[in-house]
Amino acid sequence: MRASLSLFVLTVLAVLSAPAAAATVAIDGRIDAIEWQGARHVTDFRKVQPLSREPGTLTTEAWVMATPDGLAVAFRNLQPSQTRTRQKVQRDFEEQVDRINLMVDFDGDGRTAYDFTVASTGGIADSVVTNENQFNDDWDGQWQHSVSEDEAGWNVELLIPWYTAPMRSGRDGMRTIRVYLDRVIGSTGERSAWPAASFELPRFLSDFAPLEIQQYSQSLLAITPYASGLYDNVAHDSDFDAGADIFWKPNGQFQLTATLNPDFGQVESDDLVINFSATETFVSDKRPFFTENQGIFEFTTPSDFSQLLYTRRVGAPADDGSGEAGDITAAVKLNGSIGATKYGVFAAEEADEVGRTFAALRLVRDFSEQNLGAMLTRVERPFLDREATVGGIDQNWRPTERLSLQTRVIGSQIDQSGETTRDSGFTTWIKYQMDGGWRQEWIGMHFGNELQINDFGYLARNSTNYAHWELRRRFTDLSEDSRYSSKEWRWRASTNHNDHGERLANQFRISRQGGVVDGSSEYMQLNVNSAGVNDLLTRGHGSVNLPPNFNAYYEYVRPRKGDWGFEVDANVLSGGLAGNDQVGFIFEVTPTYFINDAFSVYAGAYYERIPAWLVWQRDNLIGEFDERWLQFNAGLDWMMTDRHELRVKLQAIGLDAPLRQGYRVDASGNSIETAEPINDFSVRNLGFQIRYRYELAPLSYLYVVYGRGGYQQDEFSGEPRELLRDSLELRDDEQLVVKVSYRFEI
């Protein structure tokens, strides 16, 4: 407290003695009172995890100031040295460590914000926040930060350049932005913030604090060329490629991003996926061009991961069925604003006769209590003689601080082989915050039978009519001897029918989210489902009647305590044609051992047993299998220095599926036993990667990556342990990739 008082006195003396505010701030982690004179001084940090809005347990101060070089922010965090976390973290970390967050809505309209996170050991993360409280950490920005510490606490200074995001012009030399500042204590998980807004509530971006600042503008031209070399040790072949990303921002109201011959080599490894369902697996995008200022194109619905622009479609497997990725010739993206209207333009072109052409237009207008937007996408797929056009209108309305309403209306037109198909859909959310920690939510959703957005977007399924009502209650005033710092109970009732009038399921859900006083988190959920149909299983050959079923899920995450941290997931579930007569389970545990603050290793196991697993065979023939899935996950993370990092990741899977019974599905949806031959089967899958990364300069990297993997499906059954062991011998792919990219700023 004495250090905080001394800093305050120095600040007052500097303000009284200096004639004007300093034009620049040195980002060195030392909060110099003269440099920060004239800044907005923030001291009222309130608890938002748990959401009691009481003053934070530890004192936090912050300073916010606009400078010609960018938005400058400083944090002073008092904390006894023995309670500080010392763990080093990699970029876009998720570990529970001491950290601060700065979130900035540069337009002040509650639509898009940028989150900048700094750990007490210097590690950083950044993400884009849209739709009030949806975070996407695929984006990496260039910004300055520095950390220092002393016996009383630790400091952070940040500088966010004005070219970070396109922003509307101000008025009379001033602009209004909205900001949010918070500080997290790693040992307890407590989060204190100014203002006392919470991303656990329906309104988050809209509750940021308005801040009027002097208007500055920066121009930037950045070119990031790359060169990569690949050696395939299976085909005994090599390949060399080169290209460039271009970023140009002449002023605050316009920004262009382009990529020429982009390289999408595997320097980032995706998790292994084994998917026998009719629903596509969603995979996020880490490619720099597609993550740079992508927030303007956010257009989602409540359906899981659904969006009108899913950038993984660009460069996806080609339309000729070869399995080869589409060869992207070039892509360009424009972001900007004209008055109060923001716009985004996206275009990408793939090469050769199987190449596709992608285009998207986005418009957004902000009003005092609501946002209105429109989006149009178009994809030309000449190999399939197909053209897909999708349009949407979105509205975010905030009539009061307690009530928010969101509406999405979408429509599609598909022209293929001389035939035209049109359909539409809509979604509506209503969220109402009540007193005493109570909250209600209503959702209504309709997707037509012929609604198709997956040429450029992502939708798990169409033909949906869904509604739910959810009631929540948050408890933060728990007793001092309670194991929990906060709890939130949720109760939900929902119904879901397809567009043919068939009931997919009615469901009752009860769940509880718990924050533990030691910084751990706990989640429990129980779903009770009515009888219904599965109309996707047979891929258009009839719906399958299913009896009632349930699932119960538990998750516990314990951050590092001493040398160990771990995660536990458990699930008990029924389903298939057996309903509640056959119960399966899933269990996963992943302990992590910290050799030191910079070096950790983990090894975990996943086991799944589904005794009545349904897998489609052909037309209306399905098989019921006794599925057993054993998976081994292991790896290490080594932060050798602030610029050098090494990651090793291993995933190996052995899946065994002996047949229990085959069925034919009749016209009424009944499953009739059949003696038609259906084979047992088993799957082995391997993914292994060693990745070294050296940061040459901000957003400039050298990668050296070794990867090996394979997939094998056989028509026989086997013990999961043996299959898992044998998966380590798979070698469909074995590659060494070296890639270097360097960002030149002009």
Mark which of 394, 428, 460 sits at the end of a domain. 460
pTM (two decimals):
0.88
**Residues forming beta bridges with residue 210, ordered by sequence position:** 178
Cα dihedral angle (307, 310, 316, 320), rounded to 10 degrees? Answer: 50
Phi, psi of 242 (to 5 degrees): -155, 155
Residue 178 lies in a domain: yes
Q: For 671-714, how does the pLDDT look when each residue is reduced to its tens digit (9 = 90+)?
A: 999 999 999 999 999 999 999 999 999 889 999 999 999 999 99
| Structural domain boundaries enclosing 317 | 219-264+280-460
Which segment of 1-5, 312-316, 343-347, 542-546 scores lowest on mean pLDDT? 1-5
Residue 352 lies in a domain: yes
Residues 6+ apart with CB under 8 A from 658: 625, 626, 680, 717
Q: For 258-268, how does the pLDDT look when each residue is reduced to its tens digit (9 = 90+)?
A: 998 876 555 77
Provide the domain count of the chain.
2
Task: Write the CATH number for 8.
Answer: 2.60.40.1190
211 with 226, same domain: the answer is no
51 with 153, same domain: the answer is yes
95 with 161, same domain: the answer is yes
**pLDDT at residue 225 in the model:** 94
Q: How confident is the model at residue 3 (pLDDT cuts 50, 70, 90)?
A: very low
Strand (E) or helix (H) holding 240: strand 237-251
**pLDDT at residue 708 in the model:** 95
Which segment of 220-224, 364-368, 524-528 scores lowest on mean pLDDT? 364-368
**pLDDT at residue 6 in the model:** 43
Q: For 568-582, how does the pLDDT look when each residue is reduced to its tens digit (9 = 90+)?
A: 999 999 999 999 999
Mark which of 191, 215, 239 sits at the end of a domain. 215
248 with 100, same domain: the answer is no
Q: For 354-365, how does the pLDDT look when each residue is reduced to its tens digit (9 = 90+)?
A: 999 999 999 999
Q: For 105-127, how does the pLDDT look when each residue is reduced to its tens digit (9 = 90+)?
A: 999 888 889 999 999 999 999 99
- Average pLDDT of the segment spanning 226-243: 92
223 with 209, same domain: the answer is no
321 with 453, same domain: the answer is yes
Q: For 177-186, how does the pLDDT look when each residue is reduced to its tens digit (9 = 90+)?
A: 999 999 999 9
**Residues forming beta bridges with residue 344, ordered by sequence position:** 335, 362
182 with 306, same domain: the answer is no
* pLDDT for residue 5 is more than 70: no
Residue 96 lies in a domain: yes
177 with 226, same domain: the answer is no
369 with 430, same domain: the answer is yes
Residue 730 lies in a domain: no
Comparing CA positions, the residue from 330, 328, 343 lying closest to residue 293 is: 343
299 with 326, same domain: the answer is yes
End-to-end CA distance of the chain: 45
Residue 315 lies in a domain: yes
Residue 340 lies in a domain: yes
Q: For 392-422, how does the pLDDT look when each residue is reduced to its tens digit (9 = 90+)?
A: 999 988 888 889 999 999 999 999 999 999 9
Question: How many whole angstroms separate alpha carbon 714 and alpha carbon 730?
Answer: 13
Residue 82 lies in a domain: yes
99 with 245, same domain: the answer is no
Residue 127 lies in a domain: yes
* pLDDT for residue 273 is more than 80: yes
**pLDDT at residue 2 in the model:** 41
**pLDDT at residue 266 in the model:** 58
Q: Which stretches of 150-189 are assigned E, i.e. beta strand?
A: 153-160, 174-184
Question: How many whole angstroms separate alpha carbon 428 and alpha carbon 433?
Answer: 17
Rounded to the nearest integer, the mean pLDDT of the chain is 92
392 with 418, same domain: the answer is yes
pLDDT > 70: percent of the chain: 96
* pLDDT for residue 8 is more than 50: no
**pLDDT at residue 172 in the model:** 86
- Nearest 5 degrees, angle CA 222-CA 697-CA 33? 95
Mark which of 215, 231, 247 sits at the end of a domain. 215
